[in-house]
Amino acid sequence: MKKSIFYILLAVLVLGACTKDISSYNDQTKKAAVVPAAPLFTDGTLALTNQLANNGGGNITLHIVDYMAQAIIEDNAQYNFQTSQMPITQWNVLYRDCLNNLKRSDSILSTTIPDATNSAVTITNRRACVDIVAVYAWYILVTSYGNIPYSQALNPDNLFPVYDDQHAIYTDLLKRLDNDLANLSTSGAGFAASEDLWFHGNIANWISFTNSLKMMMGMTLADVDPATAKTVVEAASPNAITSTAQNCIMAYGSQPSNNPMYTNFVVAKRNDYIASMPLMDQLLSNADPRLTSYYGKASASGEYVGAVMGVQTTYSTVSGPSTKDSASNLPYVVLDYSEMEFLRAEAVARGFNVGGTVESHYDEGIRQSIKYWGGADSSVTRYLADPSVAYATAAGTDIQKIALQKWISLYDHPDHEWIDIRRLDWPALPAPVGAISGFPNRLYYPQNEQTVNGANYTAAAAAIGGDVVTTKLFWDIH
């Protein structure tokens, strides 16, 4: 009897232990192993937009282009990327949070079998949308760092991707845009409204956006390769954004779906972001209608006061961001009619055939910018009549006139302005007090790259002329 009990016990335990497949214990029961393509696209788009809109957080280009100074922690205003960690954040967000999700979204779409709800045209449209956002992200990356992992990137089976030549990447990106344009078709649908944060599924708007992106990218080549720039810009301009209805604007909501600037300016209670003197003085000098939208009044004096970049000041004595600019649901303008008009003005000035005159596009760029920020038509008229603004009488060369007004208009889009200021070398901004380097022409590579992809990093640093912020990128030859 006793023995038999032990034999039973033995048998139970041994048999139990014999079960080979205990792998169900390792199954994920709280997270999805299979998901649809759309939420990955949405997430990738959101990551990219948040990074561009994260002014003052993981994106300090607002200091580089003198939109804002700092009252207390002056490091970022002095071009100190170490404390802001922007080189790491921008790299990580774009590769990991944006491009990797877009790539997976595309790979799911590529194996989706068309059916009644998702026609073949719809699937092709969706893949094109995914690729366009990706090209935009690559454009930001390649204009931020120079040579970057591209052809071998986004493959976790290759832990040491090489850095590709920046010009070659650029050429390939333009090719991809043409391919996307060929694939987009208004005869089918795109993503659903809630899945597409930029255009809510409007394929016609995606087409004009893609042309606009192409035109912007083409113009970036204007100095280094004028012939290609001309071809690309002229081909894109007619189909690029020609009205505010085609603007690419992303809406934000309340916390935690807020505009990232709200977190930096308001939630963090930093009392650190203040108006920079060059832009403030510019706005004051001709009573710019956008002044009250950009900045608030200094609490101590009730006046609009700008600050010197790189010097600590008491927050109450200078202007901070305006209430409008620090609202949680402030929309983010990815690309709009105003910016396109400035590009067209520049195109005409450079002798590209895009129709109109420099002045007509210049005026329209300014008009659309003021109107976007809530200015009345009368203010536009008055502003354009100001001799320092009016195209005929404004100071400087054609390019300088355009560059100055574009600088003012891109207030919430310092990333684009950073590209322009490197490209157009105007306006001439004073160096911050205590700047730790010359003007940053690029971001240095994330320091992590030295330890995790060392050999390829070293080769890339040598190829571009040194991994320092003052190294000029291939399109920035002046």
Partner 1 sequence: MYLIVMFMAIGFVPFYAGAQTINLPGKVLDKDGEPVAGATIHVEGQHGGVVTKEDGTFAIKSTLKGTLIVSAVGYVTQRVDITGKTGISITLVRTDKNLDEVVVTAMGIRRAKNTLPYAAQQISGDDANKVRVANIADGLSGKVSGLEIRQNNSLGGSVNVVVRGIKSLGFNNQALFVVDGTPLDNSIMVSGSTTNNGTSNGGLGSTGGYDMGNAASDINPDDILSIDVLKGAAATALYGSRAANGVIMITTKKGRSGTNVTANAGMTLGRIDRSTFVKRQNQYGAGRSDNLATGGFIYKDVTGDGVPDYVVNTNAPRSWGPKFDKSIMVYQWDAFDPLSPTYHKATPWVAPKHGPEYFFKTAITNNESVFLDGANEKGSYKLGFSRINEKGDMPNQNDGRNTINFGSTYKLTDKITVSATANYVQETTVGRNPTGYDGNRSSMPQFREYGQVNVDYKEQEEAYNRAQKNITWNWADPTTTTGLTPFSYNNPWFTANQNFENDSRNRTYGNVSLNYQLLPWLNILGRISLDTYDQAQEERLAVGSIGTPMYSRFNSSFRELNYDLIATMNKDINKDLKFNGLLGVNMRRDAITSVYQSTTGGLIIPKLYAISNSVGAIAAPTETSTPKAVDGYFAGATFTYRDFLSLDGSFRRDRSSTLPVDANAYNYYAISGSWQFYEQLKDNAPWLSSGKLRANYATVGNDAAWGSIQDVYNQPNPFVAGTTSSILFALPTVKNNDALKPERTNSKEIGLEMSFLKSRVGFDATFYHTNTVDQILPIAITTSTGYNSKYVNAGDLQNQGFEVTVYGTPVRTRNFSWEITANWTRNRNKLISLNSGATNLQLATFQASISTNATVGKPYGQIEGQTYTYLKGQKVVNNDGSAYVLSTTTTNVLGNFNPDWIGGVTNNFKFKGFSLSFLVDMRKGGTVWSLDQYYAEQSGILPASTGLNDLGNEKRLPVASGGGIILKGVKADGTTNTTRTAITSGNSLLLPPPDEAYDAGYVKLRELSLGYHIPGSKLGNASRVIKGIDIQLLGRNLWIIHKNLPMADPEDGASAGNNNQGLQFGSYPTIRSLGLNLKMQF
Span 187-216, contacts to partner 1 by CB under 8 A: 193-195, 197
Site mask for partner 1 (CB under 8 A), range 284-313, x = bound: ---------------xx----------xxx
> How far is it, in rounded angstroms, from Cα 436 to Cα 76?
10
Binding status of residue 140 toward partner 1 by CB under 8 A: no
For the CB of residue 107, give the shortest distance to partner 1 in the complex, in Å.
11
Q: Determine which residue in the list 155, 243, 357, 388 makes contact with partner 1, applying CB under 8 A.
A: 155
CB nearer to partner 1: give 106 or 420.
106
Binding status of residue 437 toward partner 1 by CB under 8 A: no
Q: In the window 447-466, what residues touch partner 1 (CB under 8 A)?
A: 447-454
DSSP string, 136-165: HHHHHHHHHHSSEE-TT-S-TT-SSPPEEP
Q: In the window 349-368, what residues touch partner 1 (CB under 8 A)?
A: none
Pick the piece of the chain touching partner 1 (CB under 8 A) from 55-63, 345-353, 354-362, 442-450. Answer: 442-450
> How far is it, in rounded angstroms, from Cα 402 to Cα 283?
16
3-state DSSP helix/strand/coil percent for the chain, to nearest 5?
Answer: 55, 5, 40
* Phi, psi for 382 (deg, rounded to 5): -65, -45
Q: In the window 92-131, what residues touch partner 1 (CB under 8 A)?
A: 92, 95-97, 99-101, 103-104
Start-to-end CA span in the chain (Å): 97
For the CB of residue 180, give the shortest distance to partner 1 in the complex, in Å.
21
Binding status of residue 467 toward partner 1 by CB under 8 A: yes
* Phi, psi for 188 (deg, rounded to 5): -125, 175
DSSP string, 249-309: EE---STTSS-HHHIIIIIT----EEEBHHHHHHHHHTT-TTHHHHB---TTTSS---B-T
The count of residues interacting with partner 1 (CB under 8 A) is 95
Q: In the window 311-340, what residues touch partner 1 (CB under 8 A)?
A: 311-316, 329
Q: Determine which residue in the list 22, 113, 227, 395 makes contact with partner 1, applying CB under 8 A.
A: 22
Cβ(246)–Cβ(337) below 8 Å: yes
Q: In the window 365-404, what residues touch partner 1 (CB under 8 A)?
A: none
* Phi, psi for 148 (deg, rounded to 5): -145, 160
∠ at Cα 278 (425, 308), nearest 5°?
Answer: 115
Q: In the window 60-79, what residues touch partner 1 (CB under 8 A)?
A: 72
Q: Determine which residue in the list 111, 113, 116, 256 makes contact with partner 1, applying CB under 8 A.
A: 256
